[in-house]
Every structure is written in C-alpha cells, then in structure tokens.
Structure 1
C-alpha cells in the first residue's frame, strides 16, 4: 500500500503565522505538524510515501524530512500548483500510486489512541479486499465537516459535505483508505460549487457501489484538526498532556520505525544524540 500526505494548503486560517512558512511545518508542541500524519502512515505499515506540498516549499520540507531514509521509509514530493481540493491529491499521485491501494491523510490532522495501530491494520486489510475504508468520529458540532449517516444496523447510507442540518454527529476525518479504483473514481468527479474536487464525492461513489466501509472510532480516540489558531493551541496542549500522563511520545517517528524493525537501536540513539539538548532527544536515548 502507498501513502499520500496532502500538505499543500495555503493555511490562510492561520495568517499571519503561515505567511513565512506553510502550515504543516508549524510546531504542534514539540514536533512539526507534518510528523503526525507521517506517523499515522508509518503505524499503518506504509513505507512508500508521497508528500504533496505548495510551490516553493521543496527546500524546507527536504531539510526536515529528506528522503525518509533515517526512519527506514521512502519519501518523495510533488507540488500542487493550484489548490483544487482534497481529491486532487489522488490525481497528482496517480503515477506514484501505480496499481496499489493507497492511504490518503491530511497534513493538518492528528490521530492518537492506544488502539491506533490495530485500527489502522483493520483498515489496511479491508482496503486490500477492495473498496474504501474511512472513519466515523463523533463531534458535537458536525456542520463544518463531511457528515456520515447510518441506518439502524450501523451501515453508512449517506454522506453530506458541510450540511446545514446534519443527519448525524459523525464526521469523516482526514484519513482515507482506498483500493486502486480510486484513481478512476477521482478522474470522474466534477468540481463542486466552490470549484474543488471534493473527497466526499469520491466517498459517495464508493457508497453508491456498496463498497464504502466506515469504522466508528471509540470515544477515547483523539482526533484533532490543527487548521486554526485555537485548534493549533488545543492540539499542542493535548499532545503535551498525553506525553506527560503516559511517558510515551506521540508521533515519535524514530520509535515507530524501531518498533516496526525499519531501523535499530543504534540508529535511534544516534538521532537522539543529535537532539540531546531537548526532551525529545533524551527520550530517544532512553529507548
């Protein structure tokens, strides 16, 4: 399975913070925002990763992540010249995806749970069998998101993008698993009234084909959209709280790579020595 991170948004909701740098390079507590979706892909066992970035940001991203070799993964980059919606990432990544299934994650979304890896593994298995797998996350105010409606048996029966009157409190966060037919589906959708290729239209097509699987996330599952100043602050405080309470670091790429067998302890300690002046580096040296 291939992985794509869409990290090309203008970040206009975060101005003036994002005037000199793009949103996914901003810090969320002690790590750049891009670490969090990258960690999700690595926890799903995905090692071939495409990051879609804004024009002119190739240098900063490469200085931060390089080609991914330090974590035992393969990272490549493509530029999205014009923001055309989330589904456009699938068209930009067509050659990268090839004949494989793909996981698409948004660059400003943060996921955390003690059961995250098992939930991701379930989604990977389902996508290899065919169709699409997305997640249902309960929120109190769903009107700003894609809302999924369920029947009495818990099966998804409708999806609405930013509805005025939501039919449920379950939204679909920015993490999607698709089989290879997603490329053909993405090519067939038309721009919405706001001129974007909506990911909800991709999911709706899978729903029409009776191939959309929706996994409801448990209430202890943490999902954060760090796209506004308030959300960015809340996300940073949430990450700090989890790390303080558990003693385990959220989105620690080195630890994930070590647990997956992509790198060894000597690699981790070498990177820890590079960051020995920080708590993050000291955490690596204790692994």
Structure 2
C-alpha cells in the first residue's frame, strides 16, 4: 500500500502566520504539523509516501523530510497547481500509486488513541474497497456526515449538511483500493468547483464496498485549520506527552519500532536533536 499526504493548502484561515510558510510546516507543540499525518501512514506500515505541496514549496518540505531514507522510507513530492479539492490528490498521485491500494491523509489532521496503530493496520489489512473512520463531534455541519442504520451500517454520507442525520463525521483519513483513481477521474466538480472526497466515498457506498469504522471513545482527532484549533492541538499534544507519557507523531521512534532503522540510526537522529526534549526522548528509547 502507498501513502499520500495532501499538504497543499495555503492556510488562509491562519493568515498572517501562513503568508511566509505553509500550514503543514507550522509547529504544533514540539514538532511540525506534517509529522502527525506522516506518523499516521507510518503506523499503518506504509513506507512509500507522496507529499502533495503548493507550487514552489517542494524544496521547503524536502529540507524537512528529505527523501525519507533516514527513516527507512521513500518520500517523494509533487505539486497541486490549483486547489481542486481532496479527491484531486488521487488524480495527482495516480502515477505514484500505480494501481496499488492507497491511504490518503490530510496534512492538517492529527489522530491519536491507545490502540490507533492496531486499528490502522487492521483497516489496511482488511480493506475491501474503501475504509473510512467515524468520529463523533458536537457540531457535524462543517463536515461529511455519516448516517447509520439500526445495525450500525453506513447508509448515507452528506457533505456539510444543514440538518445532519448523525453526529458522526468522516475525518481526513481514507483507505482505498485501486478503484479510487478511476472513481476520482469520473467525478464532476461540486458547486464550489472542487472534486469532493465525499463523492468518492458515496460511489464506494453505492457499490456496497464502503466500511465505516467508528473511533472508540478514548481518541483524539484534531483538524488544525485555524488559530484556535492549532492552539488546542498544541495543548492536547503537550498534555498527552507530559501527563500520560504518550508521545505523539515522533516519526523516528515509529521508524525504529517498525524495524525500518536500527537502534544506532535512531541514536544518531537523537544526537542531532540532543539540545531539545524531543531529541532527549529519542535518546531515552
């Protein structure tokens, strides 16, 4: 399975912070925002990743993540010339995916739960068509909302409804088989001129090939799209790491746990950051 991170948003809701730097490169507590979606793909066991960035930003992202070899990964970059919606990532990444299954994650979404890695690996291993996740939120209207029947099976998904049929929304994490590229290629842009990822999910639903996995109660999902949510995300990561000793988004640690790098390589990466608490954590492993 391949991985795609859609990190091409300019982050206009965060102006003026994002005028000189892309939103996925902003700090969320002790690491760049993009570390969190990258860690999601790593927890799913995915080593080949395409990062989709805004025009003119390939070198900036590459300066941070390189080609992934230091993590035992293969990280490539490409550009989304014009913001055309989330499903456009499937078209941009079509050659990279090359018929494989794909896990698509948004560059500003943060996920954590005690068993999140197990949940992800099960979703990847058991995917038959498409697998998405359901998160309970108090106000689902800004999102894609899932309706379930009495047996807990998803029967509809509605994008940004005024009268939601449930409080469960689909966050920015999607697992698809090879059909997704053709489905995306046949989409019609919505009224706002975008290729909607909800339309991809609806097509799988119509084919009876969509599985919606509800997240358990003890989970964190954060959409770091504005200043308040960035602050909340930073505080949440701080609290998890300080109070519960649950380190989140530490990509070097994940690479070591997956067996992609050796203990000596992990130690070297920690030495390069030894002046920080982040580096000291790596050296303590």
TM-score range for the pair, normalised by the shorter chain length: over 0.9
Larger mean Cα displacement after TM superposition, 268-277 or 196-205: 268-277
Matches within 5 A, 1:14-29: 14-29=14-29
Counterpart Cα distance in 2 of 1:270 and 1:223? 31
Shift of residue 60, structure 1, vs aligned partner: 1.1
For residue 285 of structure 1, what is the aligned residue in structure 2?
Answer: 283
For residue 247 of structure 1, what is the aligned residue in structure 2?
Answer: 245
For residue 62 of structure 1, what is the aligned residue in structure 2?
Answer: 62
Determine helix, strand or coil for the equivalent of 1:164: coil
For residue 47 of structure 2, what is the aligned residue in structure 1?
Answer: 47
Structure 1 gaps of 5+ residues are: none
Matches within 5 A, 1:34-113: 34-113=34-113
For residue 265 of structure 1, what is the aligned residue in structure 2?
Answer: 263
Shift of residue 221, structure 1, vs aligned partner: 1.1
Matches within 5 A, 1:194-213: 194-213=192-211
Shift of residue 247, structure 1, vs aligned partner: 2.0
Counterpart Cα distance in 2 of 1:169 and 1:115? 22
Pick the aligned partner of 1:235 from 233, 236, 242. Answer: 233
The C-alpha deviation readout for 1:97-144, integer Å capped at 9, x for no partner, is 1120000000000000110011101110122xx210000100000000
For residue 10 of structure 2, what is the aligned residue in structure 1?
Answer: 10
Counterpart Cα distance in 2 of 1:248 and 1:67? 27
Shift of residue 73, structure 1, vs aligned partner: 0.7
Determine helix, strand or coil for the equivalent of 2:37: helix
Counterpart Cα distance in 2 of 1:222 and 1:133? 19
Shift of residue 48, structure 1, vs aligned partner: 0.5
Determine helix, strand or coil for the equivalent of 1:13: helix
Determine helix, strand or coil for the equivalent of 1:4: strand
Counterpart Cα distance in 2 of 1:121 and 1:281? 27
For residue 119 of structure 2, what is the aligned residue in structure 1?
Answer: 119
The C-alpha deviation readout for 1:220-239, integer Å capped at 9, x for no partner, is 11100001100000000000
Pick the aligned partner of 1:157 from 149, 152, 155. Answer: 155
Shift of residue 58, structure 1, vs aligned partner: 1.2
Matches within 5 A, 1:165-180: 165-180=163-178
Shift of residue 266, structure 1, vs aligned partner: 0.8
Counterpart Cα distance in 1 of 2:193 and 2:84? 7
Counterpart Cα distance in 1 of 2:18 and 2:99? 36
TM-score (norm 1): 0.98
Counterpart Cα distance in 2 of 1:79 and 1:126? 31
- Runs of 4+ in structure 1 deviating by more than 2 angstroms, as ranges, are none
Counterpart Cα distance in 1 of 2:156 and 2:106? 22
For residue 135 of structure 1, what is the aligned residue in structure 2?
Answer: 133
Counterpart Cα distance in 2 of 1:57 and 1:147? 33
The C-alpha deviation readout for 1:63-109, integer Å capped at 9, x for no partner, is 10000011111000010000000000000000001120000000000
The C-alpha deviation readout for 1:179-222, integer Å capped at 9, x for no partner, is 00001100111000000000000000000000000000011111
Determine helix, strand or coil for the equivalent of 1:100: coil
